[in-house]
A and B are shown apart, each in its own frame.
Chain A
Amino acid sequence: MTTPRNALVPGGAADQGPASTTPSGDSRRLIYGHPSLLAERPTHYCPGCGHGIIHRLIAELLDELHLGPTTIGVASVGCSVFAYDYLGIDFVESPHGRAPAVATGVRRTRPDAFVFTYQGDGDLAAIGTAEIIHAAARGERISVVFVNNGIYGMTGGQMAPTTLLGQHTTSSPEGRDSSLAGYPIPITEMLALLPGVSYAARGSIADPSQIGKTKVMLRRAFEDQLGGGRTSIVEILSTCPVGWGMTPQESMDHVANEVVGVYPLGVLVDRRAAAAKGA
């Protein structure tokens, strides 16, 4: 990967904002910069895809929590398998759907590492259902970043278990019909029932305010692991403009107006916060 640029260096992104109050720069306050762990190169993701935003959130949080040197990420199969090309941390690549099992092996043999998986909805909610359910049932001390765009993007836009009813995909050309293909699976709600899941939440990247809220959820999930919590999961409603046949703006609007009606946003369970409150 390319050498990360220090955002505090003059001429970096931080210099371009209005935060500078004196010409000397001594009292400037950094409010925005390039995360040191995020590679400075264009991603291969399509215009309007959410992965770039979510990669950035993870890079920011790993920087802010000083986790870069101790993190081992587990990449899964799908467009985001290349997360390791953009995040400057150790990574192991998992077979399709098996990331929570792979993360279990990493976690058990590296008890001091920060361990997270990055999985799409085909990966986590279809082929990898057994692995995520049982990692959560065991309460593996891992964080799961679950990016749900309701479609198989990498293979050309086929129906996923998360696809909305009526949604047209290349394998549901007349729209998803519940009599043939069942119903969208609310897997994060299912996981939130398990006592091994200490934090579960659903955010989106549909607009800057939602992105900010999603970052808070991810931070809470990561801190949960660092604080001795068990499994933490943040589902992030994301986009696939190419697979959906929409422009980037239309796809963001679709998340905000349609998808959140099926997959409501919010914190589903936060057992450590609940325990602290009860104490």
Chain B
Amino acid sequence: MTAVAERPRLMKGNEAMADAAIEAGCDAYFGYPITPQAELLERMARRMPELGRVFVQAESEVGAINMALGAAATGAKVLVSTSSPGMSLMAEAMSYMAGSELPIVLINVMRGGPGLGSIGPSQSDYFQATKGHGHGDYRVPVLAPSSISEAVALVADSFELAARYRTPVILLADGIQGQAMEPVMPTFRMPDWDTASWELTGADGREPRVVKSLHLRPEDLEVHNAHLQAKFATITEREVRWAGEQLEDAEVVVVAYGTAARVARTAIERARADGLHVGLFRPITLWPFPSKALAELAPRLRAIVVVELSAGQMVEDVRLAVERVPVFFHGRTGGMVPTPSEVVDRLRVAWALTAPTP
């Protein structure tokens, strides 16, 4: 079911993501106030009760994510949102939900860290989102929008992935995407959602069901882990997403996601005006990372420049994906955003240092 609005609307990122979740059929939202995602919670506080759906402002992010766990166990389509320090508090239940195979969508509007950090935009939760929030062998799909329109689309896609694979899904945004306003074509979508085979309803007329992550016998837990790993392999095989821009003749490519990709886009236009053949490789799924696509691209390249709003996190996955191509890095931390000029300078350095010897 797809509903397309007639014309773009000027929307704030946090509110657009809230509306996208509502249009995707979100049954229940749980959250706790934290900057820079508070407008998302506020939007849900107003709209969910109007629609007869569930909204609870929890006593903490721990409370919110565990309410989400309980609601997800009943088959509800659940959204949780937070920002970085809150994500740390949600790590425990993310592990339990991965183990219990419960689908939820979690939006992390990242801010600067570590600790209380700043309220400025950041991408310094990449490791946390992609490598593991809580304990145990598990991954969850991580989707990274680079515009508010894309965020709207990815909210529906996140619900779809969550249900398809019975897994939590993280939508990894940043403070700029949460706070900025831009024209949004609200291509809201109601994805499929079928939980009938496992959801808890009360055991009326059927065998009782238990949603759990405990498998006390090591033999049993290893079997469960093998099942999870097989699922992760399927996701890695089928769900990788990325976008390329001006890659046809590119000799140096910027790898960047989210807000960093938008900065890079401007930098690439400027560098091209100066005659540098540069392009953009933009991962949309951070896990599974588009390693294969990048590896296929790399032999044609002189250099890769990774740009992040961090001290360098995704750059590790880029280096793991490619061989023999020099990988440069430019990042800003603490809520600071790289300027296009900084990225152009880095592109020039990469271009010059890797120039073919005559």
**B-contact bits for A231-270, CB 8 A (1 contact / 0 none):** 0000000000000000000000000000000000000000
- Contact indicator A98/B210 (Cβ below 8 Å): no
* B186-240 CB contacts (< 8 Å) to partner A: 200-205, 208-214
Return A137 CB to nearest CB of chain B, in Å: 8
Q: How far, in angstroms, from A273 to B183 measured CA to CA in the complex?
A: 57
- Contact indicator B74/A109 (Cβ below 8 Å): yes
Q: A91-B208, A109-B70, A114-B202 are in contact. List 4 more A-B contacts (CB 8 A).
A: A94-B66, A94-B96, A105-B72, A130-B59
Which residues of B sit under 8 angstroms from A29, Cβ to Cβ? Answer: none
- Contact indicator A72/B59 (Cβ below 8 Å): no
**B-contact bits for A106-133, CB 8 A (1 contact / 0 none):** 1111100110000000000000001101
Q: How many A-B residue pairs have CB under 8 A?
A: 141
- Contact indicator B70/A105 (Cβ below 8 Å): yes
Q: A81 at interface (Cβ–Cβ under 8 A)?
A: yes
Q: How far, in angstroms, from A138 to B58 measured CA to CA in the complex?
A: 10
Which residues of A sit under 8 angstroms from B210, Cβ to Cβ? Answer: 84, 90-93
Q: B344 at interface (Cβ–Cβ under 8 A)?
A: no
Interface range for B: 35 or more
- Contact indicator A68/B70 (Cβ below 8 Å): no
Chain A, residue nearest B77 (CB)? A109
Q: B76 at interface (Cβ–Cβ under 8 A)?
A: yes
Return A160 CB to nearest CB of chain B, in Å: 20
Q: How far, in angstroms, from A107 to B71 measured CA to CA in the complex?
A: 8
Q: How far, in angstroms, from A114 to B202 measured CA to CA in the complex?
A: 8
Chain B, residue nearest A85 (CB)? B210
Name the residue in A70, A102, A131 with the highest tally of chain B Cβ atoms < 10 Å from its Cβ. Answer: A102
Q: A166 at interface (Cβ–Cβ under 8 A)?
A: no
3 nearest A-B pairs in the assembled complex, by CB-CB distance: A105-B70, A69-B204, A105-B71
**Which residue of B64, B76, B100, B202 is within 8 Å of A113 (Cβ)?**
B202
- Contact indicator B203/A109 (Cβ below 8 Å): no
**Which residue of B58, B76, B211, B214 is within 8 Å of A109 (Cβ)?**
B76
Name the residue in B59, B62, B200, B214 with the highest tally of chain A Cβ atoms < 10 Å from its Cβ. Answer: B200
Which residues of B sit under 8 angstroms from A72, Cβ to Cβ? Answer: 73-74, 200-202
**Which residue of A94, A106, A108 is within 8 Å of B200 (Cβ)?**
A106
- Contact indicator A81/B70 (Cβ below 8 Å): no
Q: List 25 A-B contacts (CB under 8 A).
A: A1-B208, A68-B203, A75-B212, A84-B208, A90-B208, A91-B208, A93-B100, A93-B212, A94-B70, A95-B66, A95-B93, A98-B66, A98-B69, A102-B66, A104-B63, A105-B76, A106-B70, A108-B54, A108-B56, A109-B71, A110-B200, A130-B60, A131-B63, A134-B58, A137-B59
Q: A38 at interface (Cβ–Cβ under 8 A)?
A: no
Q: A157 at interface (Cβ–Cβ under 8 A)?
A: no
Q: A71 at interface (Cβ–Cβ under 8 A)?
A: yes
Q: A88 at interface (Cβ–Cβ under 8 A)?
A: yes
Which residues of A sit under 8 angstroms from B163, Cβ to Cβ? Answer: none
Which residues of A sit under 8 angstroms from B27, Cβ to Cβ? Answer: 109
- Contact indicator B211/A92 (Cβ below 8 Å): yes
- Contact indicator A103/B70 (Cβ below 8 Å): yes
Which residues of B sit under 8 angstroms from A89, Cβ to Cβ? Answer: 202-203, 208
Q: B30 at interface (Cβ–Cβ under 8 A)?
A: yes
**Which residue of A84, A88, A98, A113 is within 8 Å of B62 (Cβ)?**
A98
